[in-house]
Amino acid sequence: MKQPQQFERQDLEKMTPSLLVEIILRQQEATQQLFEEVARLKAIINRNSSDSSKPPSSDFLKKSEKAKVEPLDEGKRKPGGQPGHQGTTRKGFGRVDRFEKIRVESCPNCGSQSWIDMGVKTRQTARLVRNPIEIVEYQQHQCRCQSCEKVVWGEMPSEVIGEQDLEASLQGMLVWLGTYAHMSYEKQQEWLLQMGVEGIGLGTLAATTERVAVSVRAKVEELADWIKTQIHTHVDETGWPVMGVKEWRWSFSGEGYALYRGADTRSRAELEAVLGEHFAGVLSSDDYSVYNGYGADGQQKCLAHLLRHFKQLLKLLPKSQQEIGRVFIKLINEAFAVYRKWQKTQDNDRYFKWAEKFKEKVSKAIEEWMPKAGYSAGKLLKNLRDKSEQWWYFLKDPKIPPDNNRAERNLRLAVTKRKVCGGSRSMDGLDNTAALLTVIQTCKAQGKSALEFFRQALIDPTGLTLIPPQT
């Protein structure tokens, strides 16, 4: 917006009435634009997790230090199990490593030691043993064959790799602690000390992380090639500092997998590097501009993001903008509710009948409110109108969810790690973290042990795969 032209008093006194009216109208238009911009900036300042992508943890900074007294509501649902809820009780741990019989030594009443057995009651507990990490000294013998005179050494267990001090299973555990539990090398060192292992240097821990990352990289690339052939994937991205320079962490996820990539930019070139110039499937994403023109057979924009945008209108003036927000929040909530119902019933006929009526309701609402929309509301409504196929793809194919929550949940792990570690010290570190996150989240999605995957990758990766089993 250009700065309004300034006039001296004597100049205005010489102007004709019609010219003065024109100046006033232009100034009114500029004032309205400024008013909307101030309201928009206030809304940005007051954003929280309900109307933006900010994490719920950030809401705490704006909470009052005074206790909020709410009126008693007899109909309000209380926390915890509700009346009539069939509770479940944990029964054991799935294995027993040791049995210990507890017998009565003497009668606490009379001191007798003569007993008649009346039954046994079992109780399983998990305990931390005194030395949870075993220190093993292998005494490798050298022998000469009496038949052929060949001198050979006893074969070391496969867990022992070269001259490394830590066996494969422990290396996998340390990498899991560093990547998933966000423990720094110093804290890993302290954890080892608490477990009774002294003398492990920070260099050894850093080398362990790099070694495990290299061992799984081929399997990660195999997964990346497989994703290109899928009919649907979720994608999202976040910044990732590398030596003070802003790089990017991309996430591609779906049923049974999560692929992470390090990249220099947030551009479409990075998207094409993973999915190719054209993706023969449906791409679920937010409304970032990189995705809008990407060549995919179909796209589904995240309705949860759209809902947050309309919630921001509730903070704007005039009140007509708030009314627009309420109308479309109601429509989006209806879409989520019907979709959740379809997930339970799988009633396609009822779903598609509703979808046709719903699209008509949205179109009429856009047509009705577009003339009354201000700048922010107008952008949202124009976006909904011009990219309706991308916002409402799930209406014609309910197998595609209406949100991008899967990508956001998987990316949250990377965001948390970034906040803890502050990023990477090299591009290799960026790539290593991506590979390790891929293994951990993919194994979690498939119900497999990431620790066992790391262990096997160090020993012999033959037969390992991150590609989900086909159902």
Are residues 378 and 434 located together in one domain of the fold? no
Are residues 223 and 260 located together in one domain of the fold? yes
Are residues 417 and 460 located together in one domain of the fold? yes
Contact between residue 457 and residue 216 where contact means Cβ atoms under 8 Å apart: yes
Are residues 431 and 362 located together in one domain of the fold? no
- Residue 1 is predicted with a pLDDT of 59
- Whether 40 is covered by a domain: the verdict is no
Are residues 181 and 255 located together in one domain of the fold? yes
Contact between residue 362 and residue 392 where contact means Cβ atoms under 8 Å apart: yes
- Whether 246 is covered by a domain: the verdict is yes
403, 433, 451: which is the final residue of a domain? 403
- Whether 100 is covered by a domain: the verdict is no
Q: Rounded distance, CA 282 to CA 296, Å?
A: 6
- Residue 125 is predicted with a pLDDT of 86
- Whether 391 is covered by a domain: the verdict is yes
CA atoms within 13 Å, Cβ hemisphere of 398: 21
Are residues 163 and 207 located together in one domain of the fold? yes
Burial of 467 (0-12, 13-18, 19+ CB in 10 A): middle
- Whether 12 is covered by a domain: the verdict is no
Q: Rounded distance, CA 12 to CA 6, Å?
A: 10
Q: Which residues contact 123 (CB under 8 A, 6 or more apart)?
A: none
DSSP one-letter string for 295-315: EEEEEEE-HHHHHHHHHHHTT
- Residue 5 is predicted with a pLDDT of 77
* Single-letter residue type at 282: V
Are residues 319 and 257 located together in one domain of the fold? no
- Whether 196 is covered by a domain: the verdict is yes
What is the token pair recorded at 286?
Answer: 């937010």
Are residues 341 and 382 located together in one domain of the fold? yes
- Whether 298 is covered by a domain: the verdict is no
Looking only at the bridges linking them, the beta strands covering 151-153 and 232-242 are unpaired
Are residues 416 and 398 located together in one domain of the fold? no
Contact between residue 256 and residue 429 where contact means Cβ atoms under 8 Å apart: no
Are residues 317 and 377 located together in one domain of the fold? yes
Using alpha carbons, list the distances in angstroms from residue 5 to 16, 23, 26, 341. Answer: 17, 9, 10, 58
Angle at 54 between CA 50 and CA 57, to 5 degrees: 90
- Residue 244 is predicted with a pLDDT of 87
As for how many domains the chain has, the answer is 2
Task: Check the CA dihedral 15-18-24-27 and report its sign.
Answer: negative
Are residues 210 and 253 located together in one domain of the fold? yes
Q: Rounded distance, CA 134 to CA 201, Å?
A: 18
Q: Rounded distance, CA 402 to CA 394, Å?
A: 6
SS3 (DSSP) at 67: coil
SS3 (DSSP) at 420: helix
The DSSP code for 57 is G
Q: Rounded distance, CA 449 to CA 444, Å?
A: 7
Contact between residue 376 and residue 404 where contact means Cβ atoms under 8 Å apart: no
380-399 burial, b for 16+ CB within 10 Å, e for fewer? bbebbeeeeebbbbbbeebe
pTM for this predicted structure: 0.82
DSSP one-letter string for 97-125: S--------S-TTT---------------
- Give pLDDT tens digits along the chain (471 positions): 567 778 888 888 888 988 888 888 888 888 888 877 787 777 777 777 666 666 666 666 666 666 666 665 555 667 766 777 776 666 778 889 889 988 888 888 888 888 888 889 888 888 888 889 999 999 999 999 999 999 999 999 999 998 899 999 999 999 999 999 999 999 999 999 999 999 999 999 999 999 999 999 999 999 999 999 999 999 999 999 999 899 999 999 999 999 999 999 999 999 999 999 999 999 999 999 999 889 999 999 999 999 999 998 998 878 888 999 999 999 999 999 999 999 999 999 999 999 999 999 999 999 999 999 988 899 999 999 999 999 999 999 999 999 999 999 999 999 999 999 888 999 999 999 999 999 999 999 999 999 999 999 999 999 999 999 986
- Whether 7 is covered by a domain: the verdict is no
- Residue 259 is predicted with a pLDDT of 97
- Residue 131 is predicted with a pLDDT of 87
Are residues 358 and 254 located together in one domain of the fold? no
384, 403, 422: which is the final residue of a domain? 403
Residue 218 belongs to what domain range? 157-270+412-471
375, 403, 431: which is the final residue of a domain? 403
